[in-house]
């Protein structure tokens, strides 16, 4: 059975109603989808004609040209009142799609479980805050909820650099300038440099991908901006190691010094399946205090683990502590 035209939109709508977060479509393959973190296989199989119908239906000319040049393209797409983050790519020479359903509304921090610990960092006015975790761990949602909280309590100009723009912020106390890679800026490095001339209080960077972007982020944080960025790393120690390693060796001493001075915190998220068959979030939290700054300057990153273990009174915790806390909460709920 094919998937062309309206049937495709009906399929997405049906999945959304069932609580599906991701849909994967490839030529000659069944449609796969992810629900509550679990990957499952659907009944519909996609043929080549369907692929081209879907491609033509959801892309405009610029996106098609971008895909032909880069073999991939990212954008948001809306249908039937629902918004999706779309990634089109190639596998075995054929076009494939990954759809991520975006929530209608930005969740409140108190609805995010441990991810809501990021609230500890809301009153900083400069420096660098890193939100990290694996793909699909909810980093974008956490950062968006954090910015939405700012929108209620602060009077900031918040500039976001995204790929693509995912969440749209309601009117509040803050001015939002949301910029999309490829449409509004050509690279994160240049986007950050341009952003600093647009007088923002907060700069949100969707992802730190390379040394040039990290350098630009540090420069922005050191010049009085509050920079919030995400990275694909699995813990605070790994995050610092990865951040510094993206600089050329001859610049790593300077990078350590700048990061030590600018780092406000690291929140690393990990999703796990609870006994209630629901996904929950555990979060490792590191505060950029004087001890952390000295450790980073000396390059003894493994010592950050002990700082988190002893920093509970400051709101810190390791991932192991976070998981233990989640387990205790689940047991209390069961009793």
298-335, pLDDT tens digit by residue? Answer: 999 999 999 999 999 999 999 999 998 887 665 555 44
| Phi and psi torsions of 46, nearest 5° | -95, 135
CA dihedral 206, 208, 209, 210 (to 10 degrees): 150
Whether the pTM exceeds 0.75: the reply is yes
Average pLDDT over residues 252-271: 97
What the chain holds in terms of domains, given with CATH numbers, is 5-102 (3.30.450.90), 109-334 (3.40.50.300)
Q: Is 209 helix (H, G, I), strand (E, B) or coil?
A: coil
Model pLDDT, residue 156: 98
Query: Residue written as tokens 């035209």?
Result: 5
Average pLDDT over residues 69-96: 92
Listed residue (194, 199, 189) closest to 229, CA to CA: 189
CB neighbours of 10 closer than 8 A, spacing ≥ 6? none
pLDDT bucket at 3, cuts 50 / 70 / 90: low
The larger pLDDT score, comparing residue 105 to residue 239, is at: 239
Model pLDDT, residue 322: 94
CB neighbours of 234 closer than 8 A, spacing ≥ 6? 132, 133, 134, 268, 270
Model pLDDT, residue 143: 98
The larger pLDDT score, comparing residue 5 to residue 240, is at: 240
CB neighbours of 161 closer than 8 A, spacing ≥ 6? 179, 181, 185, 188, 191, 192, 195, 203, 204, 205, 206
Average pLDDT over residues 258-269: 98
Listed residue (88, 86, 87, 80) closest to 104, CA to CA: 80
pLDDT bucket at 193, cuts 50 / 70 / 90: very high
Separation CA 53–CA 27 (nearest Å)? 12
| Residue pLDDT, tens place only, 119-165 | 999 999 999 999 999 988 999 999 999 999 999 999 999 999 999 89
Average pLDDT over residues 234-246: 97
Question: Which conformational region is residue 161 in: left (phi greater than 0), alpha (psi within -120 to 50 degrees), or beta?
Answer: beta
| Residue pLDDT, tens place only, 19-55 | 999 999 998 899 999 988 889 998 878 888 889 999 9
Average pLDDT over residues 209-238: 96
């Amino acid at each position: 059975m094919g998937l062309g035209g309206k049937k495709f939109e009906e399929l997405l709508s049906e999945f959304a109603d069932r609580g599906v977060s991701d849909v994967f479509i490839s030529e000659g393959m069944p449609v796969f989808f992810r629900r509550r973190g679990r990957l499952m296989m659907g009944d519909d199989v996609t043929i080549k004609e369907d692929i081209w119908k879907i491609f033509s239906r959801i892309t405009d000319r610029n996106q098609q040209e971008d895909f032909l040049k880069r073999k991939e393209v990212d954008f948001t797409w809306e249908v039937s009142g629902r918004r999706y983050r779309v990634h089109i790519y190639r596998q075995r020479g054929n076009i494939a799609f990954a759809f991520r359903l975006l929530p209608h509304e930005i969740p409140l921090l108190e609805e995010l479980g441990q991810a809501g610990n990021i609230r500890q960092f809301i009153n900083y006015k400069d420096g660098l805050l890193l939100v990290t975790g694996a793909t699909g761990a909810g980093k974008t949602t956490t950062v968006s909820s954090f910015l939405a909280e700012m929108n209620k309590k602060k009077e900031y100009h918040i500039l976001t650099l995204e790929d693509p723009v995912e969440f749209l912020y309601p009117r509040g106390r803050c001015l939002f300038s949301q910029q999309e890679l490829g449409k509004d800026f050509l690279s994160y490095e240049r986007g950050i440099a341009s952003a600093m001339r647009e007088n923002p209080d907060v700069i949100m960077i969707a992802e730190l991908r390379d040394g040039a972007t990290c350098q630009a982020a540090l420069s922005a944080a050191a010049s009085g901006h509050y920079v919030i960025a995400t990275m694909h790393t699995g813990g605070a120690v790994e995050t610092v190691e990865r951040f510094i390693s993206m600089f050329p060796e001859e610049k790593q001493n300077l990078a350590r010094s700048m990061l030590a001075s600018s780092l406000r915190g690291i929140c690393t998220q990990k999703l796990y399946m609870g006994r209630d068959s629901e996904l929950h979030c555990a979060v490792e939290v590191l505060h950029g205090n004087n001890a952390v700054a000295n450790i980073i300057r000396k390059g003894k990153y493994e010592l950050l683990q002990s700082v988190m273990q002893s920093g509970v009174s400051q709101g810190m915790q390791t991932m192991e502590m976070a998981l233990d806390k989640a387990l205790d909460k689940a047991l209390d709920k069961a009793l």
